[in-house]
Amino acid sequence: MSSVSAVVEDLVAANRILAGLGVLDGFGQVSVRHPDYADRFLLARSLAPELVTREDIMTFDMASAPQDGDTRTPYLERFIHGGIFVRRPDVTCVVHSHAATVVPFAASSVPLKPIYHMSSFLRTGAPVFEIREKFGMTDLLIRNNAHGAALAEKLGDNSTVLMRGHGYCTVGGSIPEAVFRAYYAQVNADLQQRAIALGGHVTYLEDEEARLYDETNRSVIGRPWGLWKAKFA
């Protein structure tokens, strides 16, 4: 199997896994940088992630324009993906989600912080992108390259960016890493909310603890990925 074919297989799996885990519903997307061309990325045509197959994958350039004369309808928010791939050469995969537990943190002044090792990737923070700051009143979608660049700037060198009134994105150096982060951002939001509701003092991870676990995680991330592929892909 060629490298592209294997990547497309994992991208399709990621779509189904994220739907199966409840991270994506009828909305949201997952993209991957092209394995042969760093200035191209792969993303499904506008379709519910649970229904995506190999045949639905399109190729885009860094301006999020469809390639190869592909005239199928792309996602309105493909500019999220192009914007991040341009600014972050280290990123291989981008997930955009509206998952229920994270949206409240995107609307709240309370920051999302790592409450256990699984969400160590949140250690540098999950900044909130406020689209009003640069663009005033919008429909909240990332609809063009200016929006995408502003979102990517807010993401900075972090793994996660929250989007006020909208959702969030996670990025990773591989498809499993970005999917893992999208899922555990959702879990962490639920756990953090529960911890706050207990009314006592909450201890979050120290940066050094989270940094150390992030390294460890590279050696074990294949385990949940293998389980998720077996269950959902």
Catalytic residues: 77
Per-residue string for binding with its own copies, 14-33, x by CB under 8 A?
-----------xxx------
Q: Which DSSP letter does residue 159 get?
A: S
Minimal distance in Å, beta carbon 121 to its own copies?
Answer: 13
Hey, which residues does 128 pair with through a beta bridge?
162
Q: Which residue has the tokens 């197959």?
A: 53
Name which position in 153, 190, 232, 233 contacts its own copies (CB under 8 A). 190
Pick the closest to residue 93 from 16, 152, 177 (CA basis): 177
The Cα–Cα gap between 170 and 26 comes to 18
For 84, the token pair is 């991040």
Site string for its own copies, 195-224 (x = CB under 8 A): xxxxxxxxxxxx-xx--xx-xx--xx--xx
Are 94 and 169 in contact, with CB atoms under 8 Å apart? yes
Q: Which of residues 78-97 bind its own copies (CB under 8 A)?
A: none
- In angstroms, what is the minimal distance from the CB of 212 to its own copies? 4
CA distance 195 to 203: 9
Site of interaction with its own copies (CB under 8 A): 25-27, 46-48, 50-51, 76, 98, 100-101, 103-110, 115-118, 132, 137-141, 164-167, 187, 190-206, 208-209, 212-213, 215-216, 219-220, 223-228, 230-231
